[in-house]
Amino acid sequence: MYRSHYSKEISKTEYNSTVTVSGWVEDIRNLGSIAFLILRDKKGTLQLTILKKKTPELFERLISLPRESVISVQGLCKENEKVRNGYEILPDSVDILSIAETPLPLGVVDKVEADFDTRLDNRIIDLRKPEVQAIFKIRSAVLAAAHEYLRSQHFLEVHTPKIIASSSEGGTDMFKLRYFEKEAFLAQSPQLYKQSLMATGLDRVYEIAWYFRAEEHNTRRHLNESTAVDIEMAFIQDEEDVMQILEHLVHAMWKRASECREELDILKKTVTIPTLPFIKVPYDDVVDKIQQQHSPIQWGVDLSTEDERLLGDIMKKDGIDFYFITKYPLESKPFYTMPDKEKYSRGFDLECKGVEVSSGSQRIHDVALLIERLKACGLDPKDFDAYLKAFRYGMPPHGGFGFGIERFLMELLDLNNIRECILFPRDRSRLTP
């Protein structure tokens, strides 16, 4: 009985035959002698037409169901050009699998929009909405494209620890935890492990990674638990090799999103595939551009959110959505970033319409220089003994990046809040559901 035909998979060859469909009761319209029930599954909706005279007991069972109850129905599939799919189901029997409580905490098809916190508090119901599901179907599609592209470039998928003994990147934005008798941290990124793998001969690796960052920010662009496509690659000439992989990855993911026509139609969005290569703007030029827009930024510091927005507006006037910021000051980058002479680094950021979506660099592969940079950043090399060990026995030149999935989706689909792009958001004030 539970063998289910998704509504949009029923073909004309199945007209005038018995089919089984299962899903959620989206709506019921009772006209007395006839009732119409809209059934929804992950593929869409279909109409059940119930005739009281033909099946009076079945009629009463179905019209009494609360919305969002789950049923499995067997019945005759008949062509009907007047209904939404060109066919309807005339049910002969029904299994009521689950009866929904009333009232619903959140409407699925109601025209009155709930506030955002109510939606997130009732995320399971929220995720039943076609426009919300569309976001995650596109997310799945673009991640499939990421896997395909990186594997085509000979990258190996890996999984690194999320409980670590020392900070991944330095700084204080770490979640501490007790690990038996020791202190440990949730990983800010897989950075240290990715680099260590470059010493093994697994010289191109990637991970769909989790980031845990105890930042106090509670903005529309920040999460305390987020995901990213993280890669590391060895035997590079410089950071240009890494940027080339990144821009082609973004292009592949953006192109795949453009092929999700049904989901884009639901969201009323259009996707324009960016042109390669992406423009590169040195940090010095960026500072000059935004200072002309009366930003108080001083040379040597990282760009603020407002500075990024200003730069995005400047680039937009030239029709540019994607652009690299290159040649950052060394003092603004993490300890593992390769210096470029005395003042600069081989670090870069990828920005999309005024939002940073990726950060990367060529890394330091010389252990003596790495220890020097740890000290310069106020970190104790002893805390990084396990990490440094990988550099003592032959480490090739390498580099990599982290590419934020939620920020990518936010910009791709022009969404107002990053929490729309992850199933169960974790931020400064939200730990459930």
List of residues 6+ apart from 266 with CB closer than 8 A: 130, 131, 134
| Nearest-angstrom CA–CA distance, 375 and 404 | 29
Is 215 annotated as catalytic? yes
Closest CA to 425 of 410, 406, 411: 406
Q: Which of 240, 356, 372, 430 is catalytic?
A: 356
Is 309 annotated as catalytic? no
| Nearest-angstrom CA–CA distance, 259 and 146 | 14
List of residues 6+ apart from 298 with CB closer than 8 A: none
Looking at the chain, how many residues does it have?
433
Contact 267, 135 (CB under 8 A): yes
Q: Which of 5, 40, 139, 222 is catalytic?
A: 222
Closest CA to 352 of 307, 322, 309, 320: 322
Is 4 annotated as catalytic? no
Q: Which of 4, 26, 128, 215 is catalytic?
A: 215
Is 356 annotated as catalytic? yes
| Nearest-angstrom CA–CA distance, 110 and 274 | 36
- Give me the amino acid identity at 417: N
Is 407 annotated as catalytic? yes
164 burial type by CB count under 10 A (0-12 exposed, 13-18 middle, 19+ buried): buried
Whether residue 103 has a cis bond before it, omega within 30° of 0: yes
The separation between the first and the last C-alpha atoms of the chain, rounded to the nearest angstrom, is 33
Q: Which of 407, 411, 419, 420 is catalytic?
A: 407
Q: Which of 213, 251, 256, 363 is catalytic?
A: 213
Is 359 annotated as catalytic? yes
Q: Which of 7, 167, 226, 359 is catalytic?
A: 359
- DSSP character for 404? E
The 3-class SS string of 227-245 reads EEEEEEEECCCCHHHHHHH
Q: Which of 128, 147, 221, 426 is catalytic?
A: 221
| Active site (catalytic) residues | 213, 215, 221-222, 356, 359, 407
